Amino acid sequence: GVPVAEALRRAAEISPRDNDITARMYAPVLLGMPDILQALDLSNDRAHATLTLARDTRVWQVEVPAGAVAPVWPGDTDISLMTPQGWVDARTSATAPEWLHDPLTFHRLVEKPQQRAVYAQLNMVTDVTGETLEEFGERIAERVRATHPRALILDLRLDRGGNMDLRFGFVRELIKAETDSTRLFVLVGRGSFSATQAIIDDLDRFSNAVLVGEPASSRPNGYGDSYRIVLPNSGLTVRTSIKWHQVDDSNRPYTAIDIAAPPTFASYVEGRDPALEAALAYVPRPTLDAQLVAAGSAGGLTAVKSTLASYLSDDANRYVDVRHQLIIAPQSLFAAKRLDEALYVAQYASERFPLSSASWSVLGHVAEWTGHPELARRAGVKALELEPDNREVRALMERLAAAGHK
pLDDT digits (tens, 9 = 90+) for 117-170: 999 999 999 999 999 999 999 999 999 999 999 999 999 999 999 999 999 999
Distance CA(357)–CA(360), nearest Å, equals: 5
CA atoms within 13 A on the CB side of 271: 10
Residue 234 DSSP SS3: coil
Residues 157-181, buried b or exposed e (16+ Cβ, 10 A)? Answer: bbbbbbebebbeebbbbbbebbeee
CA separation for the pair 134, 73 (Å, rounded)? 24
What pLDDT sits at residue 41?
Answer: 79
* Segments in 148-270 forming alpha helices (H): 167-177, 195-206, 265-270
CA 287 to chain CA centroid, Å, is 21
pLDDT score at 23: 43
The pTM of the full predicted model, rounded to 2 decimals, is 0.82
How far apart, in whole angstroms, are the C-alpha atoms of residue 81 and residue 73? 13
Contact 346, 363 (CB under 8 A): yes
Predicted local distance difference test score (pLDDT) of residue 69: 67
Question: Comparing C-alpha atoms, which of 401, 395, 320, 326 is closest to residue 365?
Answer: 395
Report the alpha-carbon distance of residue 144 to residue 138 in Å, rounded. Answer: 10
355 to 191, 309, 360, 382: CA distances (angstroms): 30, 21, 9, 9
CA dist 188 and 279 (Å) reads 12
Cα angle: 341, vertex 345, 346; to 5 degrees? 115
Whether the Cβ atoms of residue 282 and residue 211 lie closer than 8 Å to each other: no
Q: How many CB atoms lie within 10 A of CB 231?
A: 9
Count CB neighbours of 360 within 10 A. 27
Rounded-to-integer distance, Cα 61 and Cα 51, Å? 6
Nearest 5 degrees, angle CA 280-CA 285-CA 290? Answer: 165
Q: Which candidate, 182, 185, 175, places its Cα nearest to that of 257?
A: 185
- H/E element, 29: helix 19-32
| Sheet strands side by side (includes 117-122) | 107-112, 117-122, 151-155, 183-188, 210-213, 259-260
Residues whose CB is less than 8 angstroms from the CB of residue 266 and which lie 6 or more positions away in sequence, other chains included: none
The residue ranges of the chain whose pLDDT is under 70 are 1-32, 68-70
